[in-house]
């Protein structure tokens, strides 16, 4: 008697991070494995292919062909009567109800894939959307919304550049009989401007989204405000916009989003982050990227920085203007929960930057640090590295904001060997600021210290970056310690560019000889 693992165990095994090829091979083993793997492969089938490569679209066409076979016979007759050309074998019965397995629907990808499929069937190139294209997409959407028992995610991605279809047409959700499926959605993502009618329809039906990701313009402001205002269990909020979104800002101010754990804001206007203080017991990830400082003031972070976020593990702030004393207070108030810090800003004052570095030094759980260090505060990073012993990745960002970073440099030869003595045991990546330079002897001393602690650091090769003013001596040192197994020169940018650096040096040397003659 043959014995098989229970299907629940197989599902857990196959649901782990197995690639598509491995899963495909698994479904060929026997019927039980096939029945277990097929639903996994068809949860989000379009994601298996690189949508940015045109040659991959033929695979998406085959997916559309499979989904068309799943359509009801009456629907197929309707499409044929509407001049949609269907393949001769389209009436065959599909092996599985593939549409029922779908968990993530990207409307834009579906629309463009369908256009590609039609162009192949008709052996022509579509330059504009046609009625038959629209009707087929509509019927496929109805199929998904009516049959998929586990549809969790609705996406409107950015249109891809394709030779077959250049025009998009949106189908209002209210025409698709989608109420039941949409009411169960947990994720809604928009990466481009879409008709407000779609967002408003969603706000009337879907009140339990856990994730909203919005990249749009001010034209969607009212609709997005309506959508967010009705959410009851929102956990992840990502907002990216170059336009002012006043209605959305008002909703965020008025609504107590107590369940938020993840916040990303990337826009060119600013709202006081005090509106997120109610998330002090839940917030784990906070990211702000703003490239114009005109609207940032002390009020932006005032109450937020004085709030104790008990679970915050990721803090990422990229902005020209930052009040470092407030950020220092925020870091101290996390009570040693931070594991990832990324701060990029323009220099304010040495006092503030030193305070910031000292506050980061209290983060004993930190494993990733990407930070701008003003040139006159470099010496303070030794204490930081000796305190944050769990660091795995360090990236010191480019120095003071100057007009010509190609000629401006800061010599760190005195401090680099000291850093080598106290590098954290788990460190695998160490990137120096673009405008920091060091002598070849200092670099050698730094790497010798790394070699002394090689066993203590678990014999991990170091992904190291120093790219400013490399001489032939620098390159010799780097290659020497690469051969000795201290530096990783196989799968890193430094290793890949080492030959280029040597050729660049030789070219400069030859040019100088010619000029001197």
Are 34 and 56 contained in the same domain? no
Is residue 176 situated within a structural domain? no
Q: Tell me the C-alpha distance between 481 and 121, whole Å.
A: 59
pLDDT at 141 over 60: yes
Give, as one character, the DSSP assignment of residue 488: -
Please give the structure tokens belonging to residue 477: 């040192």
Are 460 and 511 contained in the same domain? yes
Average pLDDT over residues 1-16: 68
pLDDT at 144 over 50: yes
Mapping DSSP onto H, E and C, the string for 135-204 reads: HHHHHHHHHHHHHCCCCCEEEECCCCCCCCCCCCCCCCHHHCCCHHHHCCCCEEEECCCCCHHHHHHHHH
pLDDT at 395: 94
Q: Tell me the C-alpha distance between 514 and 517, whole Å.
A: 5
Are 107 and 23 contained in the same domain? no
Is residue 465 situated within a structural domain? yes
Are 341 and 369 contacting, i.e. CB atoms less than 8 angstroms apart? yes
Question: 9 is in which domain, residue-wise?
Answer: 1-41
Is residue 299 situated within a structural domain? no
pTM of the predicted model as reported, rounded to 2 decimal places: 0.86
pLDDT at 51: 53
Least confident span in 131-135, 232-236, 430-434: 131-135
pLDDT at 430: 95
Average pLDDT over residues 75-87: 87
- 121, 149, 177: which is the final residue of a domain? 149
Are 85 and 21 contained in the same domain? no
- 96, 120, 149: which is the final residue of a domain? 149
Percentage of the chain beyond pLDDT 90 is: 34
pLDDT at 168 over 80: no
Least confident span in 33-42, 90-99, 295-304: 295-304
Are 124 and 93 contained in the same domain? yes
Are 479 and 408 contained in the same domain? yes
Core vs surface per residue 443-452: b (16+ CB within 10 A) or e: bbbbbebbbe
Is residue 320 situated within a structural domain? no
pLDDT at 17: 60
pLDDT at 180: 81
DSSP-derived pairing of the beta strands 429-431 and 393-397: parallel
Are 8 and 52 contained in the same domain? no
Residue 2 pLDDT level (bands cut at 50, 70, 90) = low
Q: Tell me the C-alpha distance between 435 and 407, whole Å.
A: 8
- 484 or 504, which is more confident: 484
Average pLDDT over residues 37-54: 72
pLDDT at 387: 93
Are 410 and 516 contained in the same domain? yes
Are 124 and 61 contained in the same domain? yes
Please give the structure tokens belonging to residue 435: 């405008």
Are 56 and 104 contained in the same domain? yes
pLDDT at 427 over 60: yes
Cross-strand partners of 316? 287, 342
Are 324 and 355 contacting, i.e. CB atoms less than 8 angstroms apart? yes
Q: What's the pLDDT tens digit per position in 233-285?
A: 999 999 988 887 888 888 888 877 788 999 998 876 667 788 888 899 999 99
- 508 or 1, which is more confident: 508
Is residue 446 situated within a structural domain? yes
Average pLDDT over residues 5-22: 71
Residue 354 pLDDT level (bands cut at 50, 70, 90) = confident
Q: What is the mean pLDDT of the chain?
A: 83
Least confident span in 269-278, 372-381, 462-471, 485-494: 269-278
Phi (first) and psi of residue 496, to 5 degrees? -65, -30
Residue 290 pLDDT level (bands cut at 50, 70, 90) = confident
Total domains in the fold of the chain: 3
Is residue 89 situated within a structural domain? yes
Cα angle: 124, vertex 128, 134; to 5 degrees: 95
pLDDT at 515: 64
**Residue 1: exposed, middle, or buried by beta-carbon count in 10 A (0-12, 13-18, 19+)?**
exposed
Q: Could you tell me how far CA 382 lies from the centroid of its own chain? A: 31
pLDDT at 351: 61
pLDDT at 175 over 60: yes
Q: What's the pLDDT tens digit per position in 381-391?
A: 999 999 999 99
Are 85 and 132 contained in the same domain? yes
pLDDT at 401: 47
- 149, 164, 189: which is the final residue of a domain? 149
Are 491 and 411 contained in the same domain? yes
Least confident span in 35-39, 142-146, 438-442: 35-39
Q: Say which residue the tokens 């698994």 belong to.
A: 26
Is residue 301 situated within a structural domain? no
Is residue 10 situated within a structural domain? yes
pLDDT at 333: 93
Q: What's the pLDDT tens digit per position in 90-127?
A: 777 778 888 899 999 999 888 888 888 888 777 766 55
Q: What's the pLDDT tens digit per position in 301-334?
A: 888 899 999 999 999 998 877 788 899 999 999 9
pLDDT at 128: 58
Residue 43 pLDDT level (bands cut at 50, 70, 90) = confident
Q: What's the pLDDT tens digit per position in 358-404?
A: 999 999 999 999 998 887 788 899 999 999 999 999 999 875 444 44
**How many other C-beta atoms are found inside a 10 Å radius of the C-beta of residue 281?**
11
């Amino acid at each position: 008697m043959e014995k098989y693992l229970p299907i629940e165990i197989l599902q857990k095994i196959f649901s782990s991070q197995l690639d598509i090829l491995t899963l495909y091979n698994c479904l060929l083993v026997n019927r039980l494995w096939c029945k277990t793997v097929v639903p996994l492969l068809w949860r989000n089938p379009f994601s298996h292919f690189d949508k940015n490569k045109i040659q991959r679209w033929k695979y998406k066409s085959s997916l559309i062909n499979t989904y068309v076979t799943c359509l009801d016979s009456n629907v197929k007759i309707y499409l044929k009567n509407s001049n949609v050309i269907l393949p001769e074998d389209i009436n065959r019965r599909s092996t599985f109800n593939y549409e029922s397995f779908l968990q993530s629907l990207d409307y834009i990808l579906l629309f463009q894939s369908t256009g590609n499929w039609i162009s192949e069937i008709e052996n022509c190139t579509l330059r504009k959307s046609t009625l038959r294209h629209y009707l087929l997409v509509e019927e496929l959407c109805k199929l998904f919304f009516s049959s998929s028992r586990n549809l969790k995610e609705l996406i409107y991605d950015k249109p891809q550049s394709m030779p077959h279809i250049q025009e998009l047409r949106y189908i209002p959700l209210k025409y698709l009989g989608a109420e039941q499926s949409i009411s169960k959605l947990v994720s809604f993502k928009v990466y481009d401007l879409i008709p407000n009618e779609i967002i408003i329809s969603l706000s009337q039906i879907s009140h339990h989204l856990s994730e909203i990701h919005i990249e749009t313009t001010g034209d969607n402001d009212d609709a997005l405000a309506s959508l967010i205002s009705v959410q009851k269990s929102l956990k992840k909020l990502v907002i990216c916009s170059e336009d002012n979104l006043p209605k959305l800002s008002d909703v965020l101010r008025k609504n107590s989003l107590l369940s938020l754990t993840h916040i990303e804001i990337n826009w060119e206007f600013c709202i006081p982050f005090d509106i997120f203080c109610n998330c002090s017991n839940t917030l784990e990830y906070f990211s702000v990227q703003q490239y114009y400082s005109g609207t940032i003031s002390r009020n932006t972070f005032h109450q937020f920085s004085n709030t104790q976020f008990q679970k915050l593990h990721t803090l990422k702030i990229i902005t020209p203007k930052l009040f470092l004393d407030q950020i220092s207070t925020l870091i101290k108030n996390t009570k040693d929960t931070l594991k990832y810090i990324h701060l990029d800003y323009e220099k304010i004052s040495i006092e503030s930057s030193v305070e910031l570095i000292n506050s980061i030094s209290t983060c004993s759980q930190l494993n990733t640090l990407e930070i701008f260090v003003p040139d006159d505060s470099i010496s303070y990073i030794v204490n930081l590295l000796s305190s944050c012993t769990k660091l795995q990745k360090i990236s010191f960002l480019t120095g003071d904001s100057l007009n010509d970073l190609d000629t401006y440099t800061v010599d760190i030869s005195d401090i680099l060997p000291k850093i080598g003595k106290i590098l954290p045991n788990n460190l695998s990546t160490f990137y120096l600021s673009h405008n920091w330079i060091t002598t070849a002897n200092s670099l050698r001393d730094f790497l010798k210290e790394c070699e002394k602690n090689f066993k203590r650091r678990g014999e991990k090769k170091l992904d190291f970056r120093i790219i400013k003013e490399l001489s032939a001596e620098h390159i010799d040192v780097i290659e020497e310690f690469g051969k000795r197994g201290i530096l990783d020169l196989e799968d890193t940018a430094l290793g890949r560019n080492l030959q280029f650096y040597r050729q660049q040096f030789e070219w400069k040397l030859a040019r100088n000889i010619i000029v001197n003659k």
